[in-house]
Structure 1
Amino acid sequence: MTAVPGAFCLVLHSHLPWVPGHGVWPLGEEWLFQAWAESYVPLVAELDSLAAEGFRDVLTLGVTPVLAAQLDHPRMRREVGTWVGLWEQRARELGFSPAQSRREAAEREYAAAARTASQLESRWSAGGSPVWASLRDNGIVELLGGPAAHPLLPLLQPSFVDVPLRAGIDDAVWRLGARPRGVWLPECAWAPALAAPLSAAGVGHFVVDEQTVRDSGGHPHAAWQVAGTDLVAVPRDLDVTNLIWSSRTGYPAAGAYRDFHAREEYTGVRLWAITEPDVGEHRKRPYDPAAADRQLEHDVEHFVGAVRERLLGLHEAHGRPGLVTAAYDTELFGHWWHEGPDFLGRAIRALAAAGVRVTTLTGAIDQGLVAGELDLQSGSWGAGKDFSVWEGPAVADLAHENEWLQRRWLDLMAAERAAGRLQTRRRDLDQLLTSLFHALSSDWAFLVTRGQSVDYARDRAELHRREFHALAQLVEDGRSDDAALTAARMGLRDNAFPELDARIHG
C-alpha cells in the first residue's frame, strides 16, 4: 500500500509506586504481581514476536525507576513466581466444575498461567532490566527515563527538582547501561520552570497532554520545540488516544471483551464478558474467546483506519506530514484490558500493512516532525488539565507536608556540607533521600483525590514522612551510630535505589 505521509507514535508509561513490604492483598505487592504477570510479560512477548518478524522502532516505553527497581528486586522476582503458581492452582480448582463453560475457562486460564511461568523462568529470569535493555539494544523500543519515584515535578521546590530527576536518570544508566534521550514527566505535568533542570540533566524530549499544547497556542499534530530551549515536547492526540483510553466509549468497554471486575467466587477467575455496562454477573454472558477475537479484529481495523485518515487529512490540510501520538498507561493492556497486548501487536502489524510509518519519539523528531517553537504553558493530563489532583482541597495537607520535607532535606544537607561531613558516602543520607522520594510519589495524592484506596495512600504517605523526620532528627542531633542503624533497618524494606549517593544529589 502507498506510504502515508507522517508517522504514528505509541507511547506506554509503566509505573507502580514502591510496594515491597507494604502489604500484599488487596493492597500492596499484589498490585505488582498482577501488573507483571498480566501486562508486562505479555507485552514483552508481543514485542519479541514483532522483533522476530523484523519490526523495529515499534513503540516508546517509559519504565519509571521505582518500577524498574521492583522488577529487579530479588524477593519480588521470587514471589511473582509463587503468585503465578497460585494462579495455576486456582485454575486447576476451577477445572473440577461440573459446568463445561467453567472447565473450558479453567483450561484457558491454566494455559495462560503456565505460559507466564515459563516466560518468568526464561525471558525474565534475571529481572526486568535485562529485558528492557535487550528491547532497546535490538532497536525494538525507545526507553524513556524519569525522576526517581514519580513526583509531580512542578510542585517541587525549585532548588529540589533536579534531585529526583538526576537520581532517576542516573539509576537508568546504572540499570540499563545508557542514558535515555527522553523522559516521561510524571502525570505529563509540565511548567516553564522545568526547562532549566531538564536541559541541565541532558533531557531531549518528553510527552505532554494535548490540552497543554492547545492552551499554549499550538496543535497536537506535531512535536514542538519549547521556546528558548533545545527541549522538544510531544503532545498526545486525544481523539486517537481516547479510542482506547475512554472508559465509556473506548474499545476495552466492548461487550465481547473479558470483564475485569466480575470474578468467580472461590478461585477469582474472570469468567464473564462485559456484556453491557453496569450489569450484574447474573446478566453477563460467559466469556467467549472467539467473540472477543472478532471484536478485536473490528477494533484494530477501526483504529488503523482512524490513524491513517488522521495522517492523510493532516497532510491534505497543511501540505506537510503530521504526527499522531497515542499515550497510555502500560497496565491498561493486559491487566485492565485482557485482550490489550494482542490488540497492540495486531495494530502495529496492520498499521505497517496500511502504509503508516510506526516509529518512536526519537524517530519522529529525527524525521523532522517538529512544527516550530512554542511558549509552552503549564498543564498535566490530570482532571482539569492542571495540578489540582495533587494540590487541591482534598490533598492540600499532603502538598503542604511535602514542601516541608523538601525544605528539611535541603537545610540538612547544607548543614552537613558546611560541617565537612560529606567526605565519604553515608548510608543514613542515602536512605533519608530514598524515604523522601517515596513520600513525594504523586500516587498518594492521586489515590486520595480519586477516592481510591484512600486509607492506604494516606498511611503510606504518613509512614514515609514519619520515617524521614525520625531519621533526619538523628542526623541533625549528631547521633551517627543510631542514624546508621535506623537507616539499615529502613533499607531492609525500602532501599529502592541501592546505587543512590545522596552527596551527589544533595
Structure 2
Amino acid sequence: MTDEGTFCLVLHSHLPWLPHHGTWPVGEEWLYQAWAHSYLPVLDLVHRLGEEGRRDVLTLGVTPVLAAQLDDPYALRAAHDWLGTWQLRARHAADRWRAADPLLRDLASAEHRAAGWAIEEFETRWRHGFSPVLRPLVDAGVVEPLGGPATHPFQPLLREPVRRFALETGLADSARRIGRAPHGIWAPECGYAPGMEHDYARAGVRRFLVDGPALRGDTHAARPVGGSDVVCFGRDLEVTYRVWSPKAGYPGDPAYRDFHTFDHPTGLKPARVTGRHVPPERKRPYDPEQAAAAVTRHAEDFVATVVDRLRELRARHGRPALVVAAYDTELFGHWWHEGPRWLEAVLRTLPAAGVRVTTLRGAVEAGHVGAPVELPASSWGSGKDWRVWDGEQVSDLVAAGAAVQDELLALPPGTPGHRDPARDQLVREALLALSSDWAFMVTKDSAADYARRRAKIHGDRFGELAGMVRGGNHERAARRAAELRAADGPFGHLDARGLACGS
C-alpha cells in the first residue's frame, strides 16, 4: 500500500435541548428522527468496524446537550415509542400503496424492516442510553471523543468567567458519561476569539477545530495556536464541500431520497430528488437500485478527491499531508438517507487507496503538526466571521445575553462550601438562554419565532430565580428551582459553585 497521506473524518452531533418543547420542525420529532436515522446506523457502522479490528476510525463530537438528551429516561421512553410508531406507519403505507407503483410497495416493506432493526438495536444496545454505547468504543480506541461547553454557546460572546465555567461544565459532563474528559473539542459554530486557546489549555483541551479560511486554506497540518501547545485543525473545504456545501453536494443527486417530500398520511418520504426544480407532486418514486449506484459513484469520487488533494498538498509542502473533512452527524441518514452507506463505502475504500484513516489524536501522533499560527476571530458561518451570531438581526438576543451574564456575575456569593439548588438552576437557565442555536435560527430564518421564544423563556426563568436569590427568598427560590428542574432540563449535576459571582 502506498502512503498517499492521512485523512481524518470528524462528525459533530448536536441538536438544541428539545424535550417538552413542542413538535416538528424544532421539537422532539426532530430528535427522534435523527436518533433513528443517524445515530443508530452511524454508531452501528463504527461498532462493526471496531469488531473487525479497526482503530481510530473517526473523531466523534457529541455536545453535552445532545448527550444529556440521549441518556434522558424521558427521551429514551419517547424514542422507543417513536420507533414503534414508525413501524406502524410502514404497515399503513403497505396497505395504502398495495395497488400503487411497485417501487412504493417495496419502499413500505423496506421501511418496516428498517424500523424493526432500529427497535431491536434500541432495545438491546441502546436501552440504557447513548453513553453505554459510546464508552466501549472510546475505551477500545475505535473513536476519539470531542467535547464542548455546556448548552452550546457561541464562546466569543461570553464573559471570561462564564466561558470558562461553561467549558469546564461541558467537559465534566462528558467525563461523567464516558469516564474521561475529552482532550479535543469542536467548539460551537467553530467560534474562536484570539486568546481562547489559553482557556482551552487551562481546561485540558489540546486540540480544536476551525474552519479552513481561518488558516487561509492552509489545512495540510495541525497548527499550534499562538504561544500555546494547543493545536487547531482546519476543515479542508475543498474536500468537505464535495459532500455538502452551501450550494451543492452529493445529497442533491436526482437518485437520492428526497428529504422534503412527504406522504402525509404515513409520514414517510416516498420520492427521489428527481430534479432540483421539480415540484413535490411530480417527483418520481424512490428507486433503491438507482440510489445504490449513486452511492458507489459518489464514494469513488470522494476517495479520488481525497487522494488528489493529498498528492497536491504533498507536492506543495514536501511532506505527507493531512486532510480533515468535518460534518454534522445528522447529515448521514437524517438529512441524507443514503449517507450511512456512503460513509461505510468511503471508510472501507480509503485505506485500499493508500490513505491512512485516523483521528485528530492519531494525526498529531503521526507528526502532522506544522508551524505555530496566530488565528483571527472566526467561525464556520456566513462570511466565516461572527455575523450569524453577532449581527444586526440578532442584536436584541446579543444584548439580552450580555445582560444575563452581567446579572449572573453580579449576584452575591453563596454560602462557602454550601451547594444551593436554586443557584444551580439559575445558572442552568442562564446557559440555556445563551445557546448559539437561537441566534442561528433567527439569522437563517429557521423557526425564528421559536428561537426567540426559547431564549426569552430561559432568560425570564433566570431573572425570576436571580431576583429571589438577591432578595434572600431562599425557600421560595428552592421550590421554584425544583419545579423547573422537574419539568425539563439537562445537567442535573451542574454545580454553580464553580462560577465565581459577586467578584
Could you state the TM-score of these two structures normalised by the residue count of structure 2?
0.97
Say which of 166, 169, 172 aligns to 1:170: 172
8 Å Cα contact 1:91/1:110 also seen in 2: yes
Within-5 A mapping of 1:20-419: 20-96=19-95, 97=97, 98-99=99-100, 100-214=102-216, 219-412=218-411, 415-417=412-414
Q: Which whole-Å CA distance do the structure 1 matches of 2:391 and 2:467 have between them?
A: 30
Letter in 1 for 2:22: G
Match of 1:448 in 2: 442
Give the C-alpha shift of residue 313 in structure 1. 1.9
Q: Which whole-Å CA distance do the structure 2 matches of 1:492 and 1:52 have between them?
A: 40
Matched, 1:427 2:421: yes
Residues 308-366 of structure 1: per-residue CA shift (max 9 Å, x gap): 11112222232101110001111111000000011111100000111100000000011
Match of 1:474 in 2: 468
Q: Which whole-Å CA distance do the structure 1 matches of 2:75 and 2:146 have between them?
A: 23
Q: Which whole-Å CA distance do the structure 2 matches of 1:195 and 1:123 have between them?
A: 37
More displaced, 276-285 or 86-95?
A: 276-285
Letter in 1 for 2:450: Y
Q: Which whole-Å CA distance do the structure 2 matches of 1:32 and 1:434 have between them?
A: 21
Q: Compared with structure 1, are the counterparts of its residues 26 and 376 closer, same or farther at alpha carbon in structure 2 (3 Å cutoff)? A: closer
Give the C-alpha shift of residue 102 in structure 1. 2.1
Letter in 2 for 1:316: A
8 Å Cα contact 1:435/1:494 also seen in 2: no
8 Å Cα contact 1:256/1:273 also seen in 2: yes
Letter in 2 for 1:2: T
Give the C-alpha shift of residue 136 in structure 1. 0.9
Letter in 1 for 2:431: F
Q: Which whole-Å CA distance do the structure 1 matches of 2:184 and 2:430 have between them?
A: 24
Residues 98-124 of structure 1: per-residue CA shift (max 9 Å, x gap): 213322111011111111111110111
Residues 156-176 of structure 1: per-residue CA shift (max 9 Å, x gap): 112321010011011111111
Residues 345-402 of structure 1: per-residue CA shift (max 9 Å, x gap): 1100000111100000000011111111001111100001111101111100000000
8 Å Cα contact 1:431/1:495 also seen in 2: no
More displaced, 152-161 or 21-30?
A: 21-30
**Identity between Structure 1 and Structure 2 (%):** 48
Q: Which whole-Å CA distance do the structure 1 matches of 2:283 and 2:453 have between them?
A: 37
Give the C-alpha shift of residue 58 in structure 1. 0.8
Letter in 1 for 2:474: S
Q: Compared with structure 1, are the counterparts of its residues 26 and 188 closer, same or farther at alpha carbon in structure 2 (3 Å cutoff)? A: closer
Q: Which whole-Å CA distance do the structure 2 matches of 1:41 and 1:115 have between them?
A: 10
8 Å Cα contact 2:103/2:287 also seen in 1: no
Q: Which whole-Å CA distance do the structure 1 matches of 2:471 and 2:402 have between them?
A: 22
Residues 24-53 of structure 1: per-residue CA shift (max 9 Å, x gap): 334311111111111100101111121222
Q: Which whole-Å CA distance do the structure 2 matches of 1:24 and 1:246 have between them?
A: 28
Give the C-alpha shift of residue 70 in structure 1. 0.3
More displaced, 107-116 or 312-321?
A: 312-321
Q: Secondary structure in 2 aligned to 1:416?
A: coil
Letter in 1 for 2:274: T
8 Å Cα contact 2:63/2:147 also seen in 1: yes
Structure 1 residue runs of 4+, over 4 Å off?
none
8 Å Cα contact 1:244/1:250 also seen in 2: yes
Letter in 1 for 2:149: P
Aligned-CA RMSD value: 1.1
Residues 174-208 of structure 1: per-residue CA shift (max 9 Å, x gap): 11111211111100111113122111111100000
Letter in 2 for 1:394: Q
Q: Which whole-Å CA distance do the structure 2 matches of 1:183 and 1:447 have between them?
A: 23
Letter in 1 for 2:60: L
Instruction: Note the residue ranges of structure 1 that are not aligned, 5 or more in a row.
Output: none
Letter in 1 for 2:434: L
Q: Which whole-Å CA distance do the structure 2 matches of 1:505 and 1:362 have between them?
A: 30
8 Å Cα contact 1:17/1:66 also seen in 2: yes
Give the C-alpha shift of residue 500 in structure 1. 1.2
Give the C-alpha shift of residue 247 in structure 1. 5.0
8 Å Cα contact 1:154/1:193 also seen in 2: no
More displaced, 455-464 or 156-165?
A: 156-165
Q: Which whole-Å CA distance do the structure 2 matches of 1:162 and 1:493 have between them?
A: 27
Q: Which whole-Å CA distance do the structure 2 matches of 1:388 and 1:316 have between them?
A: 36
Q: Secondary structure in 2 aligned to 1:161?
A: helix
Give the C-alpha shift of residue 493 in structure 1. 2.6
Q: Which whole-Å CA distance do the structure 1 matches of 2:32 and 2:79 have between them?
A: 5
Q: Secondary structure in 2 aligned to 1:11?
A: strand
Instruction: Note the residue ranges of structure 2 that are not aligned, 5 or more in a row.
Output: none
Q: Which whole-Å CA distance do the structure 2 matches of 1:307 and 1:449 have between them?
A: 33
Letter in 2 for 1:416: P
Give the C-alpha shift of residue 55 in structure 1. 1.6
8 Å Cα contact 2:104/2:286 also seen in 1: no
8 Å Cα contact 1:243/1:250 also seen in 2: yes
Letter in 2 for 1:311: L
Q: Which whole-Å CA distance do the structure 1 matches of 2:463 and 2:30 have between them?
A: 28
Give the C-alpha shift of residue 272 in structure 1. 0.7
Q: Secondary structure in 1 aligned to 2:160?
A: coil
8 Å Cα contact 2:151/2:432 also seen in 1: yes
Q: Which whole-Å CA distance do the structure 2 matches of 1:159 and 1:403 have between them?
A: 13
Residues 269-325 of structure 1: per-residue CA shift (max 9 Å, x gap): 111110110211332221111110001000000100110111122222321011100
Give the C-alpha shift of residue 505 in structure 1. 3.1
Q: Which whole-Å CA distance do the structure 1 matches of 2:266 and 2:198 have between them?
A: 52
8 Å Cα contact 2:161/2:499 also seen in 1: no
8 Å Cα contact 2:71/2:131 also seen in 1: yes
Letter in 2 for 1:89: L
More displaced, 95-104 or 107-116?
A: 95-104
